[in-house]
């Protein structure tokens, strides 16, 4: 009995060794303040934290908006947090300890929680492109827009390519898997109604019963993706006949070698926002940030890095880095013209019911 203790000791020191090694390696780790948002806010300068979904959005913000020039002009130091999470944001507001002064939120949530989670911002709808003006509201300040497009496998349908929502729902003529995001906010509900003969101007309020009935017709051919990475992978692997993707995801997939073609007709436009958190102690600094970022030149620059369309009316056409980028950019006038904005007010009023029905439909 006693002898085998040696072996046991071996096991123990193995773990201890690893633990010690990691402590040693981690010894240079920094601990910092709790990020409770800077108490001393002067007229100029200060500290503002913005939360985004991370990834490319944050990269573009750092490269275009919050540059050394921004710091020099405003004296404000920006910090970035990700991922944005509404439960986290609401907890901050309820407890009065605001960590995120600004967010890059979704319009439907900003409308639904205006005055409770999101603070009002003064803005002039006339500043923005006409197509985006309906969204502008008390708490909603557009930054730029992206869209959910349909894309099809160019190898499979080379001869007679699909071109409409009716084709998307026609699995006889265009057989194969339909890739769809797992979240309801992607245009498939609107698309089902369009395919079923509803006129674009009569879409809202959405007739959900009719839409889901139409959607049931392709239920057996669905390929649902949870993450952007999954969607890109599916497109590259080529097993998808047609799918609904964000324009930027389709662009990334095409860039990675996917043989896909976009369908811009009746794509659905979503708007990316600047939103301000209700009760932020750094409101003065936040207002300075907003003054700075509502700049057509910066919005155009952002649209040259990432396929989005500037929200301001005065923004110039971006210079596209290459043809592929242009092919997937909503900013191209011919693309924007045929795309339809989501009715965000309708989403704000109905998202709970919509989520329940869509989740049940897609995961049943």
Q: Please name the residue ranges forming H helices in the chain.
A: 5-26, 55-60, 68-74, 86-95, 107-112, 165-168, 188-195, 208-216, 228-237, 247-255, 283-293, 296-305, 323-327, 333-338, 344-363
Query: 20 vs 338, which CB is nearer to other proteins?
Result: 20
Angle between helices 344-363 and 208-216 (to 10 degrees): 40
Query: 80 vs 212, which CB is nearer to other proteins?
Result: 80
Quote the least distance from Cβ 111 to other proteins, whole Å: 13
Structure tokens that stand for 99 in this block: 């960590």
SS3 243: strand
Q: Are 253 and 231 in contact (CB under 8 A)?
A: yes
Query: 128 vs 351, which CB is nearer to other proteins?
Result: 351
CA distance 344 to 346: 5
Name, in order, each residue with C-beta under 8 angstroms of 297's C-beta and a sequence gap of 6 or more. Answer: 315, 316
Query: 117 vs 315, which CB is nearer to other proteins?
Result: 117
Cis peptide, bond prior to residue 276, ω within 30 of zero: no
Quote the least distance from Cβ 312 to other proteins, whole Å: 25
Quote the least distance from Cβ 324 to other proteins, whole Å: 14
Quote the least distance from Cβ 285 to other proteins, whole Å: 16
Query: 125 vs 183, which CB is nearer to other proteins?
Result: 183
Quote the least distance from Cβ 44 to other proteins, whole Å: 22
Query: 165 vs 185, which CB is nearer to other proteins?
Result: 185
């Amino acid at each position: 009995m006693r002898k085998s203790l040696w072996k046991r000791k071996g096991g123990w020191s193995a773990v201890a060794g690893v633990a010690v090694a990691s402590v040693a390696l981690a010894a240079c780790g920094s601990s910092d303040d709790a990020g409770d948002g800077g108490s001393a806010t002067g007229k100029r300068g200060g500290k503002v934290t913005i939360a985004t979904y991370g990834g490319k959005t944050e990269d573009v913000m750092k490269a275009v908006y919050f540059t050394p020039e921004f710091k020099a002009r405003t004296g404000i130091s920006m910090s970035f947090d990700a991922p944005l999470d509404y439960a986290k944001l609401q907890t901050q507001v309820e407890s009065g300890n605001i960590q995120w002064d600004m967010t890059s939120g979704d319009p439907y949530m900003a409308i639904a929680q205006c005055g409770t989670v999101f603070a009002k911002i003064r803005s002039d709808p006339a500043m923005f492109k006409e197509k985006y003006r309906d969204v502008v509201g008390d708490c909603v300040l557009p930054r730029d827009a992206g869209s959910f497009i349909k894309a099809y496998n160019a190898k499979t349908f080379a001869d007679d390519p699909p071109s409409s929502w009716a084709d998307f729902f026609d699995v006889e003529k265009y057989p194969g898997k339909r890739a769809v995001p797992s979240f309801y906010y992607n245009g498939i509900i609107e698309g089902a109604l369009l395919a079923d003969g509803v006129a674009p101007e009569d879409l809202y309020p959405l007739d959900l019963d009719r839409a889901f009935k139409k959607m049931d017709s392709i239920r057996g051919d669905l390929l649902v993706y949870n993450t952007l990475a999954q969607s890109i992978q599916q497109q590259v692997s080529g097993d998808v006949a047609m799918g609904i993707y964000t324009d930027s995801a389709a662009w990334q997939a095409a860039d990675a070698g996917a043989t896909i073609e976009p369908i811009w007709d009746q794509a659905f436009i979503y708007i990316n926002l600047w939103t301000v958190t209700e009760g932020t102690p750094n409101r003065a600094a936040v207002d300075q940030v907003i003054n700075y970022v509502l700049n057509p030149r910066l919005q155009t620059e952002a649209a040259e890095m990432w396929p989005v369309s500037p929200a301001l009316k005065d923004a110039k056409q971006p210079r596209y880095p290459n043809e592929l980028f242009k092919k997937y950019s909503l900013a191209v006038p011919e693309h924007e013209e045929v795309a339809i904005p989501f009715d965000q007010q309708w989403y704000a009023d109905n998202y709970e019911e919509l989520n329940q029905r869509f989740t049940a439909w897609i995961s049943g």
